[in-house]
Structure 1
Amino acid sequence: MKRKLLNPTWLAMGIAIMILSSGAAIFIPHSAKDSDRENETDEPMEAIKQEFSKTRDPQLNVVPRERLIKALNYYGQQELLQKTSKTTSTFSSISWLERGPNNVGGRTRAILWDANDATGKTVFAAGVGGGLWKCSDITATVPVWSVVNDQFSNLAITAIAQDPSNAQTMYFGTGEGYGNLDAIRGNGIWKSTNGGATWSQLSSTNNVSDFAYVQKIVVNSSGVVFAACRGTFSNTGGLQRSSNGGTSWTRVIGSGSTDMAISDVEIAANGDIYAATGIWTTGKVFKSTNGGTSFSNVSPSGSYWRIELATAPSNSSVVYAICQGNGSNNVSAIQYTSNGGTSWTSQTLPTIYDQGSNSPYTRGQAWYDLLCAVDPNNASTVYIGGVDLLKSTNNGTSWTQITNWSLYNDPSNPLSPFPWGASQNNHADHHAFIFKPGSSSTALNGNDGGIFYSTDLNSGTGLPNWASKSSSYNVTQYYACATHPTNANFFLAGAQDNGSHRLNSPSITSGTMVSGGDGAFCFISSSNGNNQITSYTNNNYYYSTNGGTSFSGVNGSDNSGRFINPSDLDGTNNILYTAGATNTLVRFASVFSGSANRTDLTVSIGSTQISAVKVSPNNATTVYVGTDDGNVYRIANANATPTVTQLTSTALGSGGYVSSIDVKKRTTNTDDSILVALSNYGINSVYYCANGTVASPTWVDIDDNSTLQDVPVRWAIWSPVSSKIIFLGTEIGVLGTGTINGNSTVWTLLNNGILPNVRVDMIKVNSANQLVLATHGRGLWTSNDVSPLSMQLLAFHATLTNNESVLLDWTVNQSQQNTSFTLERSYDAMAFDKIYSQTSNNNLTYQFSDHDFSKAHDRIFYRLYLTDAKGEKQYSDIQSVILQNRANVFIEKVYPTVTQGKVSIKRGNTSAVTMHIKLIDALGKVYADEVMPYQDTEFDLSRFPAGTYLLYITDEINSYKSFNRVIIR
């Protein structure tokens, strides 16, 4: 398969290492014609340019992916605060359901046979964007994988290792550092001390540039850990060594900007350690004979980049080095030593036969897919992998191809070596080859299709047989999805590197590939669910008129437009609108016929290319488009002779990339409410207007730069039932707001501990008012019904009466049976306890008097929630009362509670002498611990990170306490 390469030129510009997020190409059988499978290769530079344009910081012109770490820490803190304080939001009742597909795998670089299982059946594996998984019986015909954890702050697991001196101790590393387009930056190393049941991040590697990309981890017999790293910058990374279980690290290879990109590290049977460098830098081989405290250069002759190593378990002196040529994307040498690196011999470079011709076995992808493994019992038998797998039984003198991803058979062609069978149809692009401990016959292979298994590698007769073991290993990466107008469980979805899928089930289900190549935007007509569209890259589209059973190419398809091409369907008039070349909107009329009429419409949009397309739900002949310079245009009469109006007098988001446009459906059929998202780092990302029908709408920035952290927003959508609710698809999951309030709008992460911390490329709404997510690493997910309760809470008040009781009253919009009201009380606005509940009656107003509160506090907090028959909840805002006419009021007021600077503290009337002030986050970390005189004062919060905190104030003998939640923006 042709990969999306970040070439050295782009790397030198300092952008390539940060370009994209999660990735996992997949492999599933399908019935599409062979020409749809892999002959449709992409244009790597076009893909790179598109993603760079979408996510770069316009001010810095780089993609600062390290900002995701700050965002994840912030939202992790908020979620923990919500759990520990029992606080809730409009979205507390949102839940998520994984929908699949469950018959696919994804790119896998990390596989481990678990030494804790004496039967040799338990395996750990990880997708490069889908978290850590475990299978208790890999020998089963249909294995069962369970996700160990997909809530880690980083899901790009690329290496896993076990301590041979204590099998309960395990490590995994994150970050795919080879420069492929869809690589995720990592964030260090995690450790388990209970056999992989639970994991914690090593603080010594958290947000440390040296550990941005961990290619390999090995542990020697003394428990010393080695990590092959590549850092964020050219002077970080290197081979890292820890002799204390990861508490601290020492760089043992690499200095300055030399030898810092470590591609591999291996431990020989006698304890010698070999390490290789060369990811887009000079490739070398180093050796240590003293437990890794020092290394010597034992490089073979030649000029190389990436080098992969393999040591022979049966002979410590035998080492193989697979070398990518300097300035080449192919392997230029296979080096072999039988004396521990004292001298090297260059072995035969093999070719593979695929798609009717011979080619280098890495086919221009040695930088991306490259592996080598030696038979545990025979040092002369070695396996290598690139696009396909090959085997040698004579130290690499000659080779036999043992897999063929395309199954191309041509008996008349003398170059065709075998009549390939289904058992050799292993997926392309190989990254890992792990023998079962001690076995020469059984191994696991990790590739872009997931995990494959063979038990007859050493049978001596014919080619080995391979079986996919990826069932329920769910790590698909989608770009787009589509929903059915009447069937809430029918979906289309376009997957990176493996076509478009049809799914139709109320739970996790398998996917059927309906068209090949890279899957991109897809649609199901809102007026006829049998009419469907899928796409490949650029302007290559397929249509179906039989409910997705079969697809045909749309007349006029070509390679214009963007790589993943923005488009939208007018299902009423059967017109598909797509991005074309500069200043061009492409119109495919009669798109569901065999003779679609393509027209390239010249539109004046500032000499740029369309980046987002939206057909108005109120008037199908009106189309909205966005551009990669932050502008939005309305195109009227798009079905005939278009008229273009620019709706942005000033570019939105500092001239960022418009990633999506949504128009609110109105009963008045007017496009008054328009929502725009921009996907770059370093900008304000979300805007809306409420007067979209006028010539120059007023755009309101609703990015508060705090609760909406600096992460790419790839999609924004109005709630289907409320113009107050907005959902965002971001790099780390789904965000939402229930109240639009300019740039004071508060956003909440809605993953709720269920949806993984995964990139969300698109959000749609199905016929059951459920959100449908196309995630880039964990497949399709849906929410529960996001419709608001039919009974709505209109008002809630708390009023102090004579300092002896608190009157609580509330109003609802309608009477409704089977709805209950619950009142809760708190003295710190964090921990709430239930004090009263009742069922609804025919009234619209209710009240309750609280007489039982404690008078030992300055302030009392109340909240109310109502619960309908389905168990859905709606919460009120928190109300508070201050107890008056008391002899002892310690702290009268703390204000403002949302600030970027200082808060004022107004003292009360006690005899306290000092105030002991602590600022504490949701994790219990104390950021400030200061003593001040008991007087009106100001406390500076600008020196602390943005987030939600508890400002806890006591007197000098801890007899008075004041709890105040503050938000630092």
Structure 2
Amino acid sequence: MTQKKYYLPAGLTFSVLLISFFIFNNSAPDPRDAYEQELIAMYAQIPEAIIVESEGDNRPDRPDLAAIQNYFNIMDPALGHVPVERLRTAWEQTRTMQENSIRESNALYWQTEGSNMGGRTRALMYDPNELSGNKVWAGAVTGGLWYNNDITDDQSAWVPVDDFLSNLSVSCIVSDPNNSQVFYAGTGEAETARVIYRESSGVGMGILKSSDGGASWDYLLSTESFKYVTDIQIRDEDGISVIYAGVASGIYKGVTHQSEPANGLFRSVDGGQNWEQVLPLIPGLDETYAVSDIKIQGDGRIYVGSMETPELEGGATIFYSDEGTTGTWTTYEDVKTLIENQTTENIPGRVILAIAPSDTAVVYALFAVGYENGFVYYKGRYIYRTNDNGQTWQQVNLPDYDYATLAWHALIGGVDPIDADHLYVGGLDVWSTMNGGASWAHQSDWALMYYGGGDDYVHADQHVQLYKDGSVDEMLFGSDGGVFYTANASSSNPVFEEKNKNFSTLQFYTCAISPVAGDNRYIGGLQDNGTLFFQGNPLDINDMIDGGDGAGCFWDVDEPEIFITSVYYNRYTVFLNGN
């Protein structure tokens, strides 16, 4: 048999070899293999002791490993991290689904069990459109926007605005003085966005706007990179409603969330469509000041208090301006210098301002001062007052040396509308002075939470104090326990009332459900509201079975009469049959 041989031309042979070389040497890496290697590398960072401890038949619960697994589940393999920048897109898709009623086809439904307790509340506003003057708006840092049609009525319940807002971490709310139908709400809680002994913060998504008195809310796309909006004020400038927004950055879950284009005081003359940052740079740095508080005095002068950046720069500084534009600000930093010259408590913190409506020359400033002790803690160490429109400042007495031991997140003040010497302040509790700070009265007692409340009860950690327009007696207080009210603020001994009916804004860290089929009971650990035991009725302070910041909780599946609660510093309580 004759065999025929065929020969490829030399040029063609070379081309085939060259193509084969590039195919086998330049093929793209398998994304799945790359992702697997990345997961293996991340898993290798977990201490071996933790992995061994979590194996075996009698292994303990491991919420830390569960959190790691959850991180892996929602991490984008292409990015190597959780894509939080897609939250707005996800919200838009959710909103579309809601509007198209697609979610109605889902057999899984949720219902609120209800609560007559509130969570941390930083935003309060009396509705300027309500003739009675008793309608109030509130913003909770993890519970969104709410309104109460009659804050004076104990039976008037809070109503949630919309569980599908673009962001439910509301830090401030304000109405337009030229158009009472226009509201703005800022999102993100900068005060707790720091490395501290607990994580209970919320990253924001800029500013929400309503043009119909709060009936509906739109998202200002121009502010989507404002991670934390600390305050919003509006000034009438020749008939134009000019918006001033305080913007800061913060740390959450070990990641710095930087506001863009910068921290600072942002000014808008077109209803929030465009913004200009107007504060000066921090001396020696290519970075603007972070804003803690904004106040507009009756004469139109704007006062701004700063807070420290995540790098601990730029705190304890006051600015004022009559124009509100770039290059017009006067800076006061004597207290900042005083703090920096101390031996231990030497980190300038945030400034809270309180203006006197009856005297435009008077403004109070409360200063937080930081010190390192494992974490950077802050206390309220100075209160100053100006009697000449901010030109000079004088120190006044403190209510108590430790009146504000958590000043990094709990510090506030409010001045009587007709008496510049009558000032309320808050740290842990509520204090007041009738003589401009010469002497003080301790007005509230947070510890009454453990004894059913009472006339002196306001929950711990004060965040907002607001007089009703035109009244020296009606006043609202926002705290870690929601909303409180007094009808006799001008008294030397005001009576406080809790106003949290259906204000379901509690911050649950953990929850454990009864393992018994059909048993609708649960226990939950909460931020600053202890551990609560739900047994069928709306939660209130009498359902608290453990105190402080409630942490992990456990309900025994094998012996359901046993459950365990915990508090910080690894303190545990074992309950048998609920006792």
Is TM > 0.5 for Structure 1 vs Structure 2? yes
Residue 163 of structure 1: aligned partner: 176
1:202 corresponds to:
220
Change (3 A) 1:500 1:92: same
Q: Which residue in the other structure is 1:446 paired with?
A: 478
Partner of 1:68: 84
Separation in 1, partners of 2:556, 2:66? 28
Is the CA contact (8 Å cut-off) linking 1:493 and 1:502 kept in structure 2? yes
Q: Find 1:297's aligned residue among 310, 327, 330.
A: 330
Q: Secondary structure at the match of 2:564?
A: strand
Is 1:465 equivalent to 2:495 in the alignment? Answer: yes
Is structure 2 residue 505 aligned with structure 1 residue 475?
yes
Which residue of 2 is the match for residue 455 of structure 1?
487
Distance in 1 separating the partners of 2:366 and 2:407: 9
User: What is the TM-score normalised by the length of structure 2?
Assistant: 0.75
Q: 2: CA distance between counterparts of 1:408 and 1:516?
A: 9
| Alignment partner of 2:273 out of 243, 247, 267 | 247
Structure 1 contact 483–491 (Cα < 8 Å) conserved: yes
SS of alignment partner, residue 513 of structure 2: strand
The answer to whether 1:172 aligns with 2:216 is no
CA distance in 1, matches of 2:144, 2:576: 38
TM superposition shift of 1:149: 1.3
Distance in 2, matches of 1:156 and 1:128, equals: 4
Gaps of 5+ in 2: 1-62, 250-256, 337-347, 372-376
Structure 1 residue 489, shift from structure 2 partner: 1.6
Q: 1:430 to 1:52 in 2, by over 3 A?
A: farther
One-letter amino acid of the structure 2 residue matched with residue 382 of structure 1? L
Q: Kindly provide the amino acid, as one letter, of the partner of residue 268 in structure 1.
A: Q
Q: Is the 8 A contact 1:426 1:466 kept in 2?
A: yes
Alignment partners' CA distance in 1, 2:525 and 2:234: 40
Tell me which amino acid in the other structure corresponds to 1:186: G
Q: How do 1:472-551 and structure 2 match up within 5 A?
A: 472-478=502-508, 479-505=510-536, 512-537=543-568, 539-546=570-577, 548=578, 550=579
The equivalent of 2:107 in structure 1 is 93
Encode CA deviations 1:783-836: one digit per residue, 9 max, x unaligned: xxxxxxxxxxxxxxxxxxxxxxxxxxxxxxxxxxxxxxxxxxxxxxxxxxxxxx
Structure 2 CA distance for aligned equivalents of residues 318 and 275 of structure 1: 14
Q: Assess if the C-alpha contact under 8 Å between 2:370 and 2:379 holds in 1.
A: no
Deviations 1:238-290 (A, max 9, x none): 00011111111111114464443111110000111111112343221111112
* C-alpha contact (below 8 Å) 1:484/1:490 kept by paired residues: no
Within 5 Å, give how 1:664-675 maps onto structure 2: none
Q: Distance in 2 between matches of 1:447 and 1:522?
A: 25
Which amino acid in the other structure matches residue 322 of structure 2?
A: T
Within 5 Å, give how 1:910-925 maps onto structure 2.
none
How far the C-alpha of 1:237 sits from its partner, in A, is: 1.8
RMSD, aligned CA? 3.3
Partner amino acid for 1:249?
W
Q: 1:378 aligns with which of 396, 408, 419?
A: 419
> Equivalent residue of 1:99, what SS?
coil
The answer to whether residue 381 in structure 2 is matched with residue 332 in structure 1 is yes
AA of the residue aligned to 1:337: T
Corresponding residue for residue 427 of structure 1: 459
Which residue identity lines up with residue 321 of structure 1 in the other structure? A
Of 398, 401, 417, which aligns to 2:442? Answer: 401
**What residue in structure 1 maps to residue 150 of structure 2?**
137
C-alpha separation in 2, matches of 1:504 and 1:263: 41
Structure with more of its chain in strand, by fraction = 1
Q: Tell me the amino acid that sits aligned with residue 312 of structure 1.
A: A
1:230 corresponding residue in structure 2:
248
Q: Which of 311, 319, 340 is matched with 1:286 structurally?
A: 319
Confirm or deny that 1:320 pairs with 2:364.
yes
Aligned equivalent of 1:347: 396
CA contact (8 A) 1:109 1:159 kept: yes
Tell me which residue corresponds to 2:12. none
Give CA-to-partner distance per residue, 1:385-439, whole Å, 9 cap, x none: 1111111122222222111212599xxxxxxxxxx99211211100000100121
- Mapped to 2, the partners of 1:276 and 1:330 lie a distance apart of 16
- Secondary structure at the aligned position of 2:112 is classed as strand
- Please give the alpha-carbon distance, in whole angstroms, between the structure 2 residues aligned to 1:196 and 1:482: 36
**Contact preservation (8 Å) 1:281, 1:306:** no
Q: Which moved more, 1:285-294 or 1:156-165?
A: 285-294
Match of 2:233 in 1: 218
- Structure 1 residue aligned with 2:289: 260
CA deviation vs aligned residue, 1:208-255 (integer Å, no higher than 9, x gap): 1xx110011111134111101114338712000111111111111144
Return the offset for 1:476: 1.5
- C-alpha separation between the residues in 1 aligned to 2:295 and 2:307? 15
Q: Is the 8 A contact 2:416 2:422 kept in 1?
A: yes
CA distance in 2, matches of 1:339, 1:267: 15
Which one-letter code corresponds to 1:332 in the other structure?
R
Alignment-mate amino acid for residue 95 of structure 1: Y
**Structure 1 counterpart SS, 2:534:** strand
Task: Tell me, yes or no, if the aligned pair for 2:460 and 2:479 is still in contact at 8 Å.
Answer: yes
CA–CA distance in 2 between the matches of 1:226 and 1:169?
15
1:233–1:316 Cα change, 3 Å? same
Change (3 A) 1:51 1:347: farther
Structure 2: distance between partners of 1:335 and 1:52: 46
User: Following the alignment from structure 1 to structure 2, what is the Cα–Cα distance between the partners of residues 79 and 224?
Assistant: 30
Deviation at 1:459, TM superposition (A): 2.3
Larger-Rg structure: 1
Residue 575 of structure 2 aligns to which amino acid in structure 1? S
| Contact 2:122 2:140 (8 Å CA) reproduced | yes
Q: Which moved more, 1:325-334 or 1:121-130?
A: 325-334
Q: Distance in 2 between matches of 1:63 and 1:399?
A: 54
Measure, in 2, the Cα distance between the counterparts of 1:205 and 1:103.
34
The whole-number CA distance in structure 2 between the counterparts of 1:408 and 1:487 is: 31
Shift of 1:143: 2.8
* Partners of 1:185 and 1:226 in 2: CA distance: 20
Once the two structures are TM-superposed, the CA of residue 141 in structure 1 deviates from its matched residue by: 1.9
Q: State the one-letter code of the partner of 2:319.
A: F
**Partners of 2:120 and 2:478 within 8 A in 1:** yes
> 2:132 is matched with which residue?
119
Q: Which residue of 2 aligns with 1:917?
A: none
Give 1:306's aligned amino acid: R
Report how far residue 517 of structure 1 moved. 3.0
Q: Distance in 1 between matches of 2:91 and 2:264?
A: 31
Q: Which has the higher helix share?
A: 2
2:113 is paired with a residue whose SS is: strand
Q: 1:436 to 1:71 in 2, by over 3 A?
A: closer
Structure 2 letter corresponding to 1:383 = Y
Residue by residue, what CA displacement relative to the aligned partner does 1:662-708 show, whole Å, maximum 9, x if unpaired?
xxxxxxxxxxxxxxxxxxxxxxxxxxxxxxxxxxxxxxxxxxxxxxx
Aligned residue for 1:329, secondary structure, equals strand
* Residue deviations 1:574-608 (CA, integer Å, cap 9, x gap): xxxxxxxxxxxxxxxxxxxxxxxxxxxxxxxxxxx
Q: Is the 8 A contact 1:284 1:297 kept in 2?
A: no
Compared CA separation, residues 524 and 291, structure 1 to 2 (3 A): closer
Deviation at 1:73, TM superposition (A): 1.4
Partner of 1:307: 351
Distance 1:248 1:471, change over 3 A: same
Equivalenced residue count is: 473
Deviation per CA, 1:134-183, whole angstroms, max 9, x where unpaired? 00000002331000112112110000000111110100000111235311
Amino acid at match of 1:445: F
Alpha-carbon distance in structure 2 between the residues aligned to 1:315 and 1:79: 47
**Counterparts in 2 of 1:78 and 1:289: CA distance versus 1, 3 Å:** closer
Q: Unpaired segments of 5 or more residues in structure 1? A: 1-46, 352-358, 410-419, 551-969
For residues 410-421 of structure 1, what are the structure 2 equivalents within 5 Å? none
Tell me, in whole angstroms, the C-alpha distance in 1 between the residues paired with 2:456 and 2:476: 14
Q: Alpha carbons of 1:75 and 1:422: their partners in 2 closer, same or farther (altered >3 Å)? A: closer
Asked if the contact 1:453–1:466 (Cα under 8 Å) also holds between the matched residues in 2, the reply is yes
Partner secondary structure for residue 421 of structure 2: coil
Q: Distance in 1 between matches of 2:517 and 2:180?
A: 52
User: Is the alpha carbon distance of 1:203 and 1:72 closer, same or farther for their aligned partners in structure 2, counting shifts above 3 Å?
Assistant: closer
Distance 1:54 1:281 in 2: 34
Secondary structure at the residue paired with 1:333?
strand
TM-score using structure 1 length: 0.46
